[in-house]
Amino acid sequence: MATLSLQALTKRYDNGVPAVNAVSLDAADGEFIVIVGPSGCGKSTLLRLVAGLETVSGGRVVIDGAVVNDREPGNRDIAMVFQNYALYPHMTVAGNMAYGLRNRRVPKPEIAAKVRRAAEILELTELLERRPAQLSGGQRQRVAMGRAIVREPKVFLFDEPLSNLDAKLRVSMRVEIKRLQRRLRTTAVYVTHDQVEAMTLADRLVVMNRGVAEQIGPPLALYERPATVFVAGFIGSPAMNLLPAEWDGRFARVSPHLALALPGLGAPPGPLTLGIRPEHLGLEGGAAAAVELVEPLGADTLVHVRLADGPLLVARAAAAPAPDAPLALEMPLARLHLFDAAGNRIPWEAPSAALEARPCRPVA
């Protein structure tokens, strides 16, 4: 049981560029925090700072109210599960799980009890006498987690633990990790570049970009109100449609043939970005568009459409549009996301009168 607080945590490697730049975060006791972002954005570095495997360049790591910046990794009461979870090939599952405890000279009966309990939680009881070579990839990954669990740490750190597994196994392990977390209620920080994994596992999500925490919040809050263009484009699959536009104070012009009236928007004239999720694009009654590609997914269909002299967009539809039928894109004002030239969200609520009149159609 523990809280974890990161306070303006910063890391500069020798080249001077901050790999982690003033990241602040307060994880509540038992909270599952997921850090997500593209490769190289600083996720592993952040985790290694918390674990004590890297020295901090600035800021503090606080566990249960105590600053641990100067504590050795072994004295931080943390357990880490990596992507490359090397098990000892000559040891049994039980031996692998017990190894860290034996090193700490924990009494034998206590080790045995802890290994037994962790094995039960992870459904490894039947496999305790096997060696790693006799296990499947998923079972091996569970042993690696068992090694972390037996230590009963205050905080779990996971660095892309599933990214070496095949897609199917990844999904089932994801469910197992979620179940495990519900059971153990140990504070955890989980790093991944996979946004589906991030959305499904997180109590709260941290989206990182170039060392900076762009936004922190519950997954659906980030999905519904991304604070930046980066978060808007990163969370969601297929990604949100992001259209560069020129705002003149009345209309946002997307292409020579398409301008959207945005009543009540007080932003100064200039470039902005319009965002709309694929599931919010309508395919009836709006601006003329041409279908470029239809991807039936079974449950729904992705329709790639191009506006005349304009950008390509993706719509998620219940069914494929009839071939050769004229298509017309509709962008409901209430579903639009607006971002300024710097990429920050512009707060804007479409006036209800405008919504009721359904002027949600592009104006030529």
Nearer to ligand ADP, 38 or 256 (CB): 38
Using CB under 6 A, count the residues that bind ligand ADP: 10
44: contact with ligand ADP by CB under 6 A: yes
For ligand ADP, which residue of 21, 45, 96, 192 counts as binding (CB under 6 A)?
A: 45
132: contact with ligand ADP by CB under 6 A: no
Nearest to 37 by CA among 167, 211, 173: 211
40: contact with ligand ADP by CB under 6 A: yes
For ligand ADP, which residue of 41, 93, 177, 333 counts as binding (CB under 6 A)?
A: 41
Nearer to ligand ADP, 25 or 143 (CB): 25
CB of 352 to ligand ADP, least distance (A): 42
Relative to beta strand 78-81, strand 66-67 is unpaired
192: contact with ligand ADP by CB under 6 A: no
Q: Which two tokens stand for residue 168?
A: 């199917």
Backbone angles phi, psi at 181, to 5 degrees: -65, -40
Cα–Cα distance between 317 and 27 in angstroms, integer?
38
229 binds, among ligand ADP, Mg ion, none (CB under 5 to 8 A by kind): none
CB of 35 to ligand ADP, least distance (A): 8
CB of 192 to ligand ADP, least distance (A): 10
- Does residue 346 sit in helix, strand or coil? coil
Burial 155-188 (b: 16+ CB within 10 A, else e): bbbbbbbbeebeeeebeebbebbeebbeeeebbb
44: contact with Mg ion by CB under 5 A: yes
Nearer to ligand ADP, 23 or 149 (CB): 23
Q: Which two tokens stand for residue 362?
A: 């592009």
Relative to beta strand 282-296, strand 327-330 is antiparallel
Residues 6-35 that bind ligand ADP (CB under 6 A): 13, 19
CB of 210 to ligand ADP, least distance (A): 9
81: contact with ligand ADP by CB under 6 A: no
296 binds, among Mg ion, ligand ADP, none (CB under 5 to 8 A by kind): none
Q: Which residues are bridge partners to 228 per DSSP? A: 344
Tell me the HSE value of 96 on the side-chain side, using a 13 A CA sphere. 29
**Total residue count of the chain as it appears in this document:** 364
Nearest to 119 by CA among 134, 133, 108, 130: 130
Nearer to Mg ion, 197 or 330 (CB): 197
Supply angle C-alpha 82, 177, 63, rounded to 5. 65
CB of 47 to ligand ADP, least distance (A): 8
- Can you point out the beta strands (E) in the chain? 4-12, 18-27, 32-36, 58-63, 66-67, 78-81, 155-159, 187-192, 204-209, 212-217, 241-247, 251-255, 258-261, 270-276, 282-296, 301-307, 312-317, 327-330, 337-339
352 binds, among ligand ADP, Mg ion, none (CB under 5 to 8 A by kind): none
Interface region with Mg ion, contact rule CB under 5 A, candidates 42-50, 150-158, 228-236, 329-337: 42-50
For ligand ADP, which residue of 23, 42, 230, 338 counts as binding (CB under 6 A)?
A: 42
CB of 103 to ligand ADP, least distance (A): 26
Residues 237-276 that bind Mg ion (CB under 5 A): none
Which residues lie near Mg ion (CB under 5 A)?
44
Which residues lie near ligand ADP (CB under 6 A)?
13, 19, 37, 39-45
